[in-house]
Amino acid sequence: MIVFILEIITFLIDINLSNYIMILAIISILPITFYLISNYKKFLINTFLLGIIYDLLFSPFFGVNTLLFIIMGLVIIIINRKSSVINYLSIIISSVIIILFYETILYLVINITGYNIVPKIILFNRCYKVLIASVIYVSIIYLIFRKKLKNKNKRKLSY
């Protein structure tokens, strides 16, 4: 329920704020939702549904985000297997990796398909702007859910 409310609020923030600042709020909170859900299967279903909604809301091509969100979910699971602690730093690092992954894949897709051939410098400019706003947002969310996240014992995550 908490995850559901968090995601709705984040969607609203994404819809409204992305008109004025470069932010990927819903993508940046994926690591936090992973720790809150604490179940790999449920988390992947959650990312799949988020991808569908993201596609319907923001993407001109249906399916791009659905696929990307599932891949990002898997990336988060892999990162989580490598690290053993849930703290502010691990969440921020996961968010940064996910955002960079998402932006780079989209950049490659539009360039390889020839939809919009954009120079690399624009990717760098976009990435650092998105990262600043998104990291601030993740920090705020972390502060709100700090206690809840600390209570989560990572070893109890079910496969």
Partner 1 sequence: MRLSIIGIIMLSIIFMVSIIYKVSLINYFKDFFSYSNYYLTKPISYVKDEFMTIKNAKKILKENEKLMDQNNSYDLIITENNNLKKELRLLKDELELKKVLADYNKISATVIERDKMYWFNNLTIDKGIKDKIEVGMIAINSNGLIGIIERVYNNSSILRLITTNNNNYKLSVYINNKEEVCHGLITGYDYDKNVLIISGISNFCKIIENSKVITSGMGKNYPSGILVGYVSSYVSDVYDTSKIVYVKSSQNFDEIKYVMVVKNI
- Binding residues for partner 1, rule: CB under 8 A, are 12, 14-16, 18-20, 22, 45, 56-62, 106-107, 110, 114-119, 122, 126
CB of 74 to partner 1, least distance (A): 19
CB of 60 to partner 1, least distance (A): 5
CA distance 91 to 66: 22
Measured from the CB atom, the residue of 85 and 114 that comes closer to partner 1 is: 114
Measured from the CB atom, the residue of 63 and 150 that comes closer to partner 1 is: 63
CB of 32 to partner 1, least distance (A): 21
Measured from the CB atom, the residue of 120 and 147 that comes closer to partner 1 is: 120
Torsion angle of C-alpha atoms 64, 17, 129, 76, degrees rounded to 10: -50
CB of 70 to partner 1, least distance (A): 15
Helix (H), strand (E) at residue 123: helix 120-151
Measured from the CB atom, the residue of 4 and 88 that comes closer to partner 1 is: 4
Which two tokens mark 29?
């909170």
Give the Å distances, CA to CA, from 98 to 1, 20, 33, 40, 94: 24, 22, 13, 17, 6
Under a CB-based contact definition with an 8 Å cutoff, are residues 46 and 34 in contact? no
